[in-house]
Amino acid sequence: MTRRSGAGPRPTQGRPAGSTPDQRLLDSRGESDWVHTDPWRVLKIQAEFVEGFNDLAEVGPAIAVFGSARTPPDHPMYALSEKVGSALADAGFAVITGGGPGAMEAANKGARDAGGQSIGLGIELPFEDQLNDYVTFGLNFRYFFVRKTMFVKYSQGYIVMPGGLGTLDELFEAMTLVQTQKITQFPIVLMGVEHWSGLIDWLRDSVVADRRMGDTDLDMLTLTDDVEEAVALMVKARDQ
C-alpha cells in the first residue's frame, strides 16, 4: 500500500494531551505567541497544499464518498457503502474517502476489490490516526481545511452515506459552495431515504418555508436507496 503523507504520526511531547495542529492554530489562548509560531505554521500549511495538489493531480474522474466512521461491518449501510464503491470503480471513477473506518472503509473496500483506485485522505485526530486497510493510495493531513479543499477540488460528485457531524459538515459545505457559486455545481446524492428524509423535510418545511434558504436550493440534492441511480447521476455529470 502506498501511503504518502503530508502528516504522519508525530511526537506529542510538549503538547496538550489530545491536541491537534488545527486546535493549536485556532485556539485564541495562543494568540500572544502568534509572532513566533503562526508564520511557521503557514509554511506547513503551504507544504500540505503543494503536496496534495501534486499527488492528486493525475487521479482522473473521482467521486467522494462520505459516511460515519462508526458504521459496523455487519450494518446494512456498510454493505451499501461497499456496493457504492464497487459500482463507482466499475463506472471508471476513483473513490475518495476520509480513509477512516466504517462507511469510509466499506467504500474503499468496494473500490479496491473491483480493481479501482481507492483513495483515502486522512486527518490527524486524537482518536484516529490511521488509514483503513483498503486504501491503495493515501495522504494524511494536519489541517482540516487543506483536506476539505482536496475533496472539493478533485471530486466530480459527492455520495453521502448516513453519518454524524463530520458527514454533515462536508454535505453542508458543498451545498454552501454551490449556492454561493464558489464551485461549479456537481451531483450530491444522499444514500438512505429513511435516514435523510427527516432532514430534507425540516429544511423544506422550516428553513425554506421561512425564506432562510432558496426554493431551488434543495434541488441540488438527490435522495435515493438505489446504487445504480446514484452512479448514473455521476456518470451523466462526467459525460456532459
Q: Which of 158, 134, 161 is nearest to 68 (CA)?
A: 161
Provide the pLDDT for residue 42.
Answer: 85
Provide the pLDDT for residue 233.
Answer: 97
Instruction: Read off the pLDDT band of 5 (50, 70, 90).
Output: very low
Its pTM stands at 0.85
pLDDT tens digits, one per residue of 27-74: 665 555 555 566 777 888 999 999 999 999 999 999 999 999 999 999
Provide the pLDDT for residue 41.
Answer: 79
In a domain, 5, yes or no: no
**Angle (deg, nearest 10), helices 103-113 and 76-90:** 40
In a domain, 121, yes or no: yes
In a domain, 97, yes or no: yes
Enclosing domain of residue 176: 33-239
In a domain, 1, yes or no: no
Q: H-helix or E-strand containing 70?
A: none
CATH number where 152 lies? 3.40.50.450
What is the DSSP annotation of 139-152? EEES-HHHHHHHHH
In a domain, 67, yes or no: yes
In a domain, 18, yes or no: no
In a domain, 188, yes or no: yes
CB 195 within 8 A of CB 205: no
Overall number of domains in the chain: 1
In a domain, 86, yes or no: yes
Q: Taking residues 198-219, what's their average pLDDT?
A: 95
User: Mean pLDDT of all residues in the chain?
Assistant: 88
Angle at 143 between CA 20 and CA 186, to 5 degrees: 140
pLDDT at 10 exceeding the cut of 50: no
